[in-house]
Amino acid sequence: MPLQGWPGNSHGFSPLTGGVVATGFGGLPSINVVPFGLQQPRIQQYNATYEREIARDTSLRFSYLGSTLSGLIAGVDLNEVPPSDNPLGTTTGDGTTACTPGDDCNFSGADLARLPFPDLGDFLLSYGNFGHGRSNAFQTQLEHRYSGGLMLNVSYTYLDQKSSGLDTGNSSLGGIAYNAFEPNHDYGQEAFVPKNRFVAYGVYDLPVGKGKRFGSSWSTWADVLLGGWQTTFNMFAKTGTGFTPFWLCDNCGPALPGNVAVTSLDAYGDFNSEPSYRPIVVGNFNHRNGNQIWDPNAFELPPFGADVFDNPKIAKRNLLIGPGTWGVNLGVHKDFRFGERVTASLGADRRLLGVHGHRNARGGISLGWNQGF
């Protein structure tokens, strides 16, 4: 069905309640389109767990958690044309006079005739349920319930989560597909998802003081000062998350790499860097040097012709895996009781955080007061 305009507008479109229509190349209006048939994404979840007590108050658990996602929402630009070696926007608009990219380039009549909607401009975004994904997680947990002065919980998770849909953008609908003509080409590991995560925490009552293994014969004052202390710890460690390298083609439209006609192209799909392209990988990008995590010399400019999306050397989505992080918090605490209703707590904590060979340490002393009624 052709898009119908409002009377009195030369481009066939008007704002609903006044104002100025956003414009792209050559003063053409830009419009976002949400199809009537857009549906909520679907997710199917399934899991299996095996748990067994291996000792008194100690259990071991193994779990598998999976999910299948379909109909994920992502956007495409309806005015984008398939990549080709046939240039677009290389004149001042008359089809003859050569232009300076980023300065006076504009679409000619012949250029506009190649667009699906020549009366509309850049950022003609529409959304569809063309994304899909899978998630597979393996979890194991060792738990010792508090007994004998000890409580311990240790868990490990391996997560493999992949999809072709983008939900990283500043939009409730999702991001922009990098290759609108083959969105499944972007099927791969999700960003912000570490594959490995380890978490542990515990409490241990030191066996020192009256009624304990050591110091049971201490005086009352010695027991008040040295007995009844409790140690605590909690820690985590996780591997790095994914990042997508990109090259920002700042102010280079409409003479764009690939001759795709639109500047809505976003290598990361989050509406923050348009137009941007994924570079070509020419070396070992994991070569580290000091604080430099990846080697920028391993990348070159993207293709400028018909292979702008499908060149085999193009960097994949979330190709780069960031550094892992870890943290440990150690503490000692003691409660001092004053009668039946008043308890004062004294504690000291030491925190260590690490990422990519760097460590940061912080410490502190805590005081607490509790009165019961």
Is the pTM for the entire model greater than 0.75? Answer: yes
Q: What is the DSSP string of 144-176?
A: EEEETTEEEEEEEEEEEEEES----SSSTT--B
Query: Which of 17-21, 54-58, 156-160, 171-175 is predicted least confidently?
Result: 17-21
Average pLDDT estimate for 308-314: 93
Mean pLDDT lowest among 132-141, 238-247, 350-359: 350-359
DSSP code for 305: S
Assess whether pLDDT exceeds 90 at residue 217.
Answer: no
Give the largest Cα separation in the chain, rounded: 101
Average pLDDT over residues 327-336: 86
**112 vs 358, more confident:** 112
Query: Checking phi first, is residue 94 left (phi over 0); if not, alpha (psi -120 to 50) or beta?
Result: alpha
Residue 278 confidence (pLDDT) above 60: yes
Angle formed at CA 98 by CA 302 and CA 102, multiple of 5 degrees: 50
Average pLDDT over residues 311-334: 90
Measured CA to CA, the distance from residue 4 to residue 316 in angstroms comes to 39
The answer to whether residue 209 scores a pLDDT higher than 50 is yes
Q: Return the pLDDT at 264.
A: 85
- Residue 124 is predicted with a pLDDT of 85
CA atoms of 280 and 261, how far apart (whole Å)? 21
The answer, yes or no, to whether residue 144 has pLDDT greater than 70, is: yes
60 band by pLDDT with thresholds 50, 70 and 90: very high
pLDDT of residue 103: 81
The arithmetic mean of pLDDT across residues 240-253, rounded, is: 86
Q: Residue 186: its pLDDT value, please?
A: 86
Alpha-carbon distance of 214 to 226, in angstroms, equals 11
For the record, the structure tokens of 124 come out as 């003609």
* pLDDT confidence of residue 57: 92
The mean pLDDT value of the chain amounts to: 82
Q: What are phi and psi of 361, to 5 degrees?
A: -115, 140
Please choose, from the candidates 268, 309, 270, the residue with its C-alpha nearest in 3D space to the C-alpha of residue 181: 309
Does 289 score more than 80 pLDDT? no
Q: What are the pLDDT digits (tens) for 161-183? A: 998 877 565 566 677 888 989 88
Segment 217-243 mean pLDDT: 84
Tell me which H or E stretch contains 360: strand 358-371
Average pLDDT estimate for 275-301: 88
State the pLDDT at residue 14.
Answer: 45
Helix (H) or strand (E) holding 109: helix 109-113
- Residue 108: half-sphere exposure toward Cβ, Cα within 13 Å: 15
Q: Looking at the predicted structure, is the pLDDT value of residue 365 above 60?
A: no
Stretch 8-35: mean pLDDT, rounded? 54
Place of tokens 């100025």: 20
Q: In a 3-state reduction of DSSP, which class is residue 26?
A: helix
Residue 118 structure tokens: 């020549």
What is the distance between the alpha carbons of residues 160 and 339, in angstroms, rounded to a whole number?
54
pLDDT for residue 3 is more than 70: no
CA–CA distance, 15 with 23 (Å, rounded to integer)? 12
Share of the chain above pLDDT 90, in %: 35
Indicate the pLDDT class of residue 28, thresholds 50, 70 and 90.
Answer: low
| 277 alpha carbon, distance to own chain's centre | 19
What's the rounded Cα separation, in Å, for the pair 18 and 362? 57
